[in-house]
Amino acid sequence: MNTKPDWQPTATRAALKSRAQQSAFVRGFFEQRNVLEVETPVLGRCGVTEPNLDGVAADINAQGVKGGWLQTSPEYHMKRLLAAGAGSIYQILKVFRNGERGSRHNPEFSMLEWYRTGFDDVALMDEVGELVSGWLECARPGVTSYRQAMIDWAGIDPFEVSDHDLRQRCLQWLDSGQLEDLSRDGCLDLLMSFAVEPNLGTDVPEFINQYPASQASLARTSRVDGFDVAHRFELYIDGLELCNGYWELTRADEQRARFEADNRLRKAAGKPEMGVDEAFLAALEYGLPDCAGVALGLDRLLMLKMGTRNIADVLAFPLERA
């Protein structure tokens, strides 16, 4: 029996070379637009309250600081830089999310995150489309509202469907017992994942925008066509989610309330409540400039460039070989 570890990389040399070219393309793209490259901590004192994200805890004890978190996103730190006057900024870094492993997921992955002062979500969508279509040499993305995508592919209006009818629609994937603990947004997320996402961006890249306000996270909200929506967007290509962007919320009081609501949802789901990042809220209180920001998965972007559906093909060493 062979007990030697499999030491070889899963990515080919061609994939490694394409990753280097992708990084150079991204840096050139932002240099042309005078967007500053920055670095922020990968290890932070706080995690995130987002109910659907689980961070990776770090066991540290350094000069009185005990415990920490590998960051799921550089968002809070980058917004502190924005509040301090850094202007438009971007970052290429590793981020970490616990419990995520599959053909499209690795717990450690590469992210491109950037913020543009003076932009709203519409302007940032245009820039995202320019970057992605430039690198992939494909058509510019189209735009479909969340409501229309749900009507087209799930057969329900997410803003008007009753809770009963929504749950009935979800019975195709979960039994009634499993649905008991699922919130309305949880049911919508289920339909998005199984009924809608596989059909998105199959002809040309496709933005989905105007999500329900209850799914705003750190985005602004407003009333559009009689419904409360979030100024949030995601980009899909061949059913693969590539990025998540916001016209950023700047009010500290509203953000604190959202964090507290997140923790209530975490508690209801049996997850530990997370400490609120007071330094981030202090930065919002000081003054975050009007801006829009987006996080884009670089491994997934490279998967599309290389024509593969398995993230291991673009990683030198995925978790099993790390």
| CATH code assigned at 103 | 3.30.930.10
Q: What is the reported pLDDT for 54?
A: 87
Instruction: Establish if 45 belongs to a structural domain.
Output: yes
Question: Angle, nearest 10°, between helix axes 298-306 and 121-136?
Answer: 40
Name residues whose C-beta falls within 8 Å of residue 108's C-beta, 6 or more positions apart in sequence.
Answer: 94, 95, 96, 319, 322
Q: Give the number of other Cβ atoms within 10 Å of residue 116's Cβ.
A: 21
What number is the average pLDDT over the span 83-100? 95
Full domain range(s) for residue 106: 13-141+204-321
Name 177's bridge partners: none
Q: For the residues 97-103, what does the mean pLDDT come to?
A: 84
Answer yes or no: is 211 within a domain. yes
Q: Per residue in 226-279, pLDDT tens?
A: 999 999 999 999 999 999 999 999 999 999 999 999 999 888 888 889 989 999
Q: What is the pTM of this model?
A: 0.94
In a domain, 89, yes or no: yes
- pLDDT band for position 2 (cuts 50, 70, 90): low
- Domain-located, residue 191: no
Is residue 196 in a domain?
no
186 domain residue, yes or no = no
Burial of 235 (0-12, 13-18, 19+ CB in 10 A): buried
Residue 120 lies in a domain: yes
Proportion of the chain in helix, strand, coil states, percent, rounded to 5: 40, 25, 35
pLDDT value of residue 182: 83
Band (pLDDT 50/70/90 cuts) for residue 4 is low
Q: How many domains does the chain have?
A: 1
Q: What local confidence, expressed as pLDDT, does residue 177 receive? A: 73
Residue 42's Cβ-side half-sphere holds a number of Cα atoms within 13 Å equal to 11
* pLDDT given at position 86: 99
Residue 183 lies in a domain: no
With H, G, I as helix, E, B as strand and everything else as coil, classify residue 23. helix
